[in-house]
Amino acid sequence: MDSTRPVHIGRQALYDKHGHVAAYELLFRDGPEAMHATARDSAATSRVIVEAFTAFGIAELVGDRRCFINLTREFIVGELPLPFPPGSVGLELMADVAVDDEVLDGVGRLVEQGHRVAVDDFAGDTSRARLLPYAHYVKVNMLAGDRAAINAVAGQCRRFPRIRLVAQRVETQELLEMARRLQFQLFQGHVLSRPHLITTHTLSPSRVARMRLLAELAADEVDLDRAVDTIERDPALAVRVLRGVNAASNGLPQPVSSIFQAVVMLGIPQVRQWATLMMVADLADGDEAQLTDAVVRARMCQTVAERRGAPGPAAFTVGLLSALGDLLGRPAGELTDQLPLTEDVSEAVVHGRGELGAVLTEVRTYQRDAPVAVVPDLAGHMLAALRWTNASLTEPDTEDSGARRA
């Protein structure tokens, strides 16, 4: 089984009255032929969130426009976490979520935190009208009634000045013209554009690593070094943490040089949230042998760099990212452009420049050509890296973690 796998997201545009794309709705898709969502449960929402932010990169998907993600009850009431900061994503409350006091309290908390809420498929019913005081957007199904009925629903929403009306299911030019005459502000439907399937390839995190990380993060007193060790030993987890730094900073790059620094910058609560959603999404396992080779390269870069007085954690990150580029079959620059890396790390990965770049070149040459390559000290580093990586299949190696980052 390949250690990479394709991931898919549906993306449908919302347009303003001038016909410009104003936002996107991100939709669950489980395959390249999927035209509609085959699931609308919490696992589907978790996959959309995890893959949008950590497989694609949210800026790559939507640029500087807002995106909307459908939420199930579990996210609304706080049973499942939202790991991205308020304001970056519109939270769309699905029509099949029963509006009770617990849901209302959850929506209120989300709005207080700064999130923007959209009410999906609103038809004027009394129960869901309780959401209107909290809503920033309300979607009205243009196929759900005649002009008088839709106008009545729009009038009900206009009692709340901050609500922006979204005409959804705009399937014909006549419906588009009617929505414009009724002064809707945003428009979504097949007459404007259909959902577009977007695909990329990503590494599959190990379930064992994710479960171990959650166990580490659930402790009363989290051992940061042990948590970072767990992340470093799974390349997919590591790259997702790096991308999570961008998600947490609202798209403003915060350069880092190591996984440890990224975890500190994100904070334990957000790392825990991402790990939780990865488990809920139940992503497929990758080929552990190939992923192990990636970690061996990273560990070799670290030990060689430290022997020569260069920063070990940064060298680990350089080795890891170069190996991920090889696994994904993508140019190194395409990968590093999506990550908040310091210049020396990026230059080493992409161009092999600087002290870290020299270490990477030497290790890659040894991995490719050994035992032909005549680099006497690297054989020992290779064996040590293999022992270190294989140890991660049992218990995290805690003996050197603190010294390594001291």
Are 280 and 370 within one domain? Answer: yes
Please give the model's pTM, rounded to 2 decimal places: 0.60
Asked if 195 and 212 sit in the same domain, the reply is: no
Contact predicate 285/204, CB 8 Å? yes
220/244 Cα distance (integer angstroms): 23
Whether 64 and 46 share a structural domain: yes
Number of domains in the chain: 2
CATH number (domain holding residue 176): 3.20.20.450
The SS3 call for residue 171 is coil
According to the model, what pLDDT value does residue 290 have?
Answer: 65
In a shared domain, residues 309 and 401: yes
Please name which of 374, 392, 3, 52 lies closest in space to residue 240, comparing C-alpha atoms: 52
Q: Which pLDDT score, from 0 to 100, does residue 52 have?
A: 79
Last residue within a domain, chosen from 199, 228, 246: 199
In the prediction, which pLDDT does 116 show?
A: 95
Same domain for 90 and 224, yes or no, is no
- Same domain? For 66 and 90 the reply is yes
Domain boundary residue, one of 161, 176, 199? 199
State which residues form the domain around 249.
205-405
What's at 319, amino acid-wise? G
Fill in the amino acid letter for 96: D
In a shared domain, residues 191 and 211: no
Q: Tell me what pLDDT residue 404 has.
A: 41
Query: For the domain that residue 315 is a member of, what is the CATH number?
Result: 1.10.3210
pLDDT of residue 350: 92
Specify the pairing of strand 164-168 against strand 186-187. Answer: parallel
Residues 34 and 269: their CA atoms lie apart, in Å, by 34
The strand ranges marked E within 204-325 are none
175 and 105 part of one domain = yes
Same domain, 189 and 217: no
Q: Domain end: 167, 199, 231, which one? A: 199
Q: Give me the tens of pLDDT residue by residue for the chain, a chain 406 residues long.
A: 345 667 788 899 999 999 999 999 998 876 544 444 444 566 677 778 877 777 777 777 888 888 999 888 888 988 777 878 887 789 999 888 999 999 999 999 999 999 999 999 999 999 999 999 999 999 999 998 888 999 999 999 999 999 999 999 999 999 999 999 999 999 999 999 988 888 877 666 565 566 567 657 756 677 888 888 878 877 777 877 887 776 666 555 568 888 888 888 888 887 877 776 665 564 334 455 666 677 788 888 988 998 889 988 888 888 888 887 887 777 878 777 767 688 898 899 999 999 999 999 989 888 776 544 444 566 666 667 666 555 544 444 444 444 344 3
**Do residue 28 and residue 96 come from a single domain?**
yes
Domain shared by 195 and 209, yes or no: no
- Beta strands 21-28 and 4-15 are antiparallel
The tokens of 317 are what? Answer: 């990150």
- Spell out the residues 6+ positions from residue 110 whose beta carbon is closer than 8 angstroms to its own: 76, 82, 86, 91, 117
Give 116's strand partners: 90
pLDDT of residue 228: 86
